[in-house]
Amino acid sequence: MLREKLSRNEFVVTMEVDPPRGADPWPVFTAIHDLAQDLAAVNIADSPTAKLRMSPIALAHLVQDCLHLETVFHLTCRDRNMMGLQAELLGAYALGVRNILTLTGDSPSLGDHPEATGVFDVDSRGLAKMAANLNQGTDFYGRPLDSATDFFIGAVANPAMDDVAAEVAKVRAKIESGVNFFQTQPVYSMEQVLRFEAEVERQMPGCATPFIYGIMPVKSVKQAGYLNNNVPGVHVPDEMIAVLERDGAEGGIEYLLQFVQELQHHAAGIHIFPMRDYALAKRIIEVL
């Protein structure tokens, strides 16, 4: 199990997939089948970028049942009120889905249902606290449940933010809310990782919470520019951009593979954002 592997300081590899835009889970099964034996878990996103997708809890249950691959289901605060969130969590636990990534969620105005109402009764910290309460056998307000859960609670961190001290303060607050592990937004240099780790140690000396660092391929200068200009906290360094300019997509991939080899000595694991390139995900895993 993911929890046990991290507790034993085993290096883990996780990967993120989007649920289908429809009722057929088979495309996801096909995409991840050949990677299942190499992954500690697969993340199932919750209508990412506020675009309609299959329920992550239902798909997570099916992946575990059919592929025997552990999952981390995403849950956002965008689409459900406090009662609905707790009901979803209790249902997920009953279905055997025990790892959760707590997210605030993108505004519906950014997605394909801009007229939908964003709920946001709580944010990701409130959701983590909610799951932690369920683990203690109580609801969000402390009222007892008939039985407790035992979720392994995850959250997102962003090591490449300009204000790394403020980001680590958010990480500390999430841990205080009940978070057990972090999966990060993409990183592209050891400088970003070491700067973040130094601030974690400064603010939380001896912090034992595992960080699984995000890895996402960049195959063009144009893509790098888009990430740098439009995705807060994601920064493709000049060194990688120079490689892309000189050697194109394959150069960018080689840069990333070398970085992954360095990163494995500084991380609890890596979290792959494959961008639907599952052959590249396989290459990343193989270099480890």
- Residue spans per domain, the chain: 2-217+269-281
Q: What pLDDT score does 21 carry? A: 96
Predicted TM-score (pTM) above 0.75: yes
Residue 232 has pLDDT above 90, yes or no: no
The radius of gyration of the chain from alpha carbons, rounded to an integer in Å, stands at 19
Q: What pLDDT score does 243 carry? A: 97
Q: How far apart are CA 273 and CA 203, in angstroms?
A: 29
Q: Are strands 269-272 and 99-103 parallel, antiparallel or unpaired?
A: unpaired
Number of other CB atoms surrounding residue 212 within 10 Å: 26
Longest dimension (CA), the chain: 62
Q: What pLDDT score does 32 carry? A: 94
| Mean pLDDT on 101-127 | 95
Tell me: the pLDDT tens digits for 129-172? 999 999 999 999 999 999 999 999 999 999 999 999 999 999 99
Question: Which residues have CB under 8 Å from 57's CB, separation 6+?
Answer: 73, 75, 88, 91, 92, 95, 97
196: left (phi over 0), alpha (psi -120 to 50) or beta: alpha
Two tokens, residue 202: 């400064």
In this structure, whether the domain defined by 2-217+269-281 belongs to CATH 3.20.20.220 is answered with yes
Q: What pLDDT score does 288 carry? A: 86
